[in-house]
């Protein structure tokens, strides 16, 4: 089968950007099936290009799935790290840029980022943590 052009069924004219990368697997398979249905049965297209294109789509889907799983694993690891700080004294910067020191009472996630809830009522994003230690270690 001949390779599908980047603009096949998507746009007309040579000035259109390459949009093949924007297709999801269902749209791509729809184009492949339409091409198979339109081919001349007495002169079939070369199937090696089709197999190569399907393999590429599967590889891209696999990479995307792996990326999602890795991102989830990183988020879980960050949450586990944050929860290990409960009961510990921490030093960092709050959302207003002020330096704060306090004991972590709880953890919650905000926009996917663990936030430390200090016992005095203040909050600090895990990303803004600068120190963890005993009370004497964190005194100015």
Segment 73-95 mean pLDDT:
90
Which residue in the block uniquely carries the two structure tokens 């909050």?
A: 123
Segment 18-28 mean pLDDT:
67
The pTM of the whole model exceeds 0.75: no
Torsion angles phi and psi, residue 127, rounded to 5: -65, -20
Residue 101 or residue 136, greater confidence: 101
Residue-level pLDDT at 21 = 60
Q: Which residues of 78-99 are buried (b: 16+ CB within 10 A; e: fewer)?
A: bbeebeebeeebbbbeeeeeee
Instruction: Please state which of the ranges 45-49, 57-61, 70-74, 85-89 shows the lowest mean pLDDT.
Output: 45-49
Strand pairing class (129-133; 123-125): unpaired
Residue-level pLDDT at 110 = 76
Per-residue pLDDT for 60 more than 50? yes
CB within 8 Å of 108: residues ≥ 6 apart: 114, 115, 117
């Amino acid at each position: 089968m001949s390779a599908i052009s980047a603009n096949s069924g998507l746009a007309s004219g040579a000035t259109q950007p390459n949009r093949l990368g924007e297709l999801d697997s269902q749209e791509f398979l729809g184009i492949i099936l339409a091409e198979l249905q339109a081919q001349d049965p007495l002169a079939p297209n070369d199937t090696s290009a089709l197999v190569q294109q399907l393999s590429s789509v599967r590889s891209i889907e696999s990479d995307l799935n792996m990326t999602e799983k890795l991102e989830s694993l990183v988020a879980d690891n960050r949450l586990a790290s944050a929860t290990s700080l409960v009961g510990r004294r921490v030093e960092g910067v709050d959302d207003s840029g002020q330096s704060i020191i306090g004991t972590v009472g709880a953890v919650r996630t905000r926009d996917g980022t663990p936030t430390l809830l200090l016992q005095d009522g203040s909050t600090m994003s895990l990303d803004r943590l600068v120190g963890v230690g005993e009370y004497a270690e964190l005194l100015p």
